[in-house]
Amino acid sequence: MAQRNIRLTLSYDGTDFAGWQVQPNRRTVQGVVEHAILKTSGESLRILAAGRTDSGVHALGQVANFRTESDIPADRWKLALRAHLPDEVVVVESEEVDYEFHATFSAKTKRYRYVIYNHVVEFPFLKNYAWRIPQELDVAAMHAAAQELVGKHDFRSFESHWPNKATSIRTVNQVSVNRVAEWPAWSPVATAGERVDGESTPTAPFIVLEIEADGFLYNMVRTITGTLLNVGRGNWTGKDVRRILEAMNRKEAGGTAPAHGLYLVCVHYG
């Protein structure tokens, strides 16, 4: 029987997973999806993903693919897999694609988001979903400095454990840092906030970094976030970001922001 190539768009909460990639004796996203495929079609196969997210990293539009001999219609895979997946992994879409399509190598660009919760008061429901920075940050300065990253550069200053890849040159198409105004609407934070006497309540407690590039080095978004944090605190400016880029030395950049604020937003295949 001819094999068909199925592309999945996946959203998942990475909190309780040891990342995307299958590892012995660890619960991974790849592992639970492959298990769901086994339960659905009886096929024991490997799936490929656009980005191998680390432990604790989330995804809203991860893309994966696999080749199947099953005659399950492409759009039925979404519902079929749902029945065998845990609640925190959702198949948003399933579709048939060209046999040559490869989730990793066909990707033209990927977009990541990093969420900072910029508030003096802890919010317990965000502990796995945003990085809390209590001091108010200068978001306009962070956005301006981040523009130094746009374009084709050697990003080895922003890579952990360099060299991992043949080249550390990547092209950043777009990067932005913005305050986001609303609290999660379903949470009664406003009510809880009323009881916080004498502590200032910024009107826009979330800071969202968005970055799109043709590829990312290991920990690149988290290191960029840690570097821009120093800008937001007033210690560095765009000149420092440029200096760090040109140094091609990881020690020059800021710290690595924690995994739980990072989201793989989407992947574009052109």
Q: Tell me if residue 13 is catalytic.
A: no
Q: In the bound complex, what is the minimum distance in angstroms from residue 123's beta carbon to a copy of itself?
A: 7
Residue 28 to residue 35: CA distance in whole angstroms = 11
Residues within the interface to a copy of itself (CB under 8 A) = 9, 11-13, 58, 60-61, 82, 87-90, 92-93, 111, 113, 115, 117, 121-127, 129-130, 180-189, 191-192, 195-197, 206, 208, 263, 265-266
Nearer to a copy of itself, 193 or 238 (CB): 193
Residue 161, phi-psi category: left (phi > 0), alpha (psi -120 to 50), beta (remainder): left
Q: In the bound complex, what is the minimum distance in angstroms from residue 143's beta carbon to a copy of itself?
A: 17
Beta strands in 15-88 (DSSP E): 48-49, 58-68
Q: What is the SS3 assignment for 95?
A: strand
Nearer to a copy of itself, 44 or 203 (CB): 203
Q: In this structure, which long-range contacts are made by residues 78-86, counting pairs with CB atoms below 8 Å and at least 24 apart in sequence?
A: 78/8, 80/40, 81/8, 81/33, 81/36, 81/37, 81/40, 83/36, 83/39, 83/40, 84/35, 84/36, 84/39, 84/40, 85/32, 85/33, 85/36, 86/32
Q: In the bound complex, what is the minimum distance in angstroms from residue 240's beta carbon to a copy of itself?
A: 27
Q: In the bound complex, what is the minimum distance in angstroms from residue 248's beta carbon to a copy of itself?
A: 31
Residue 40 to residue 231: CA distance in whole angstroms = 49
Q: Which of 61, 68, 1 is nearest to 34 (CA)?
A: 68
Nearer to a copy of itself, 4 or 78 (CB): 78
Residue among 54, 138, 154, 214 flagged as catalytic: 54
Nearer to a copy of itself, 59 or 241 (CB): 59
Residues that are catalytic: 54
